[in-house]
Amino acid sequence: MSEPAIRKALTAEEIFLKQDKERYLYEMREKALLDHVSAIEGAKEEGIAEGITKGIAEGKAQANNEIALKLLEMKLPLSDIVKATGLTEEEIRKLH
């Protein structure tokens, strides 16, 4: 890049920065872009946290179902299986 081109760019920058309205609009655009990026990042983090919570809940439910099936195979009373797993009698019957 030639030296006159650099000088011209710097002059344009100086003029731009001296003009309050243009500088204000520029700063507002930059702020809006940063706010948008921040909102997207926040939504990603929220989505990840929600996914983790849902996955843990599904894993616990699956584990309780598997335990209930094993206890049914062991011929334990339904009332004991309800106490051990937290599942309802109806949920346990649907597994069988």
Q: What is the pLDDT of residue 38?
A: 95
d(C-alpha 10, C-alpha 12), whole Å: 5
Contact (Cβ atoms closer than 8 angstroms) between residue 68 and residue 95: yes
Full-model pTM: 0.57
- Give the range of the structural domain holding residue 46, as residue numbers without chain letter: 3-95
Q: What is the pLDDT of residue 2?
A: 66
Contact (Cβ atoms closer than 8 angstroms) between residue 43 and residue 35: no
Residues 58-77 pLDDT 10s: 999 999 999 999 999 999 99
Mean local confidence (pLDDT), 32-42:
94
d(C-alpha 76, C-alpha 68), whole Å: 10
Q: How many domains does the chain have?
A: 1
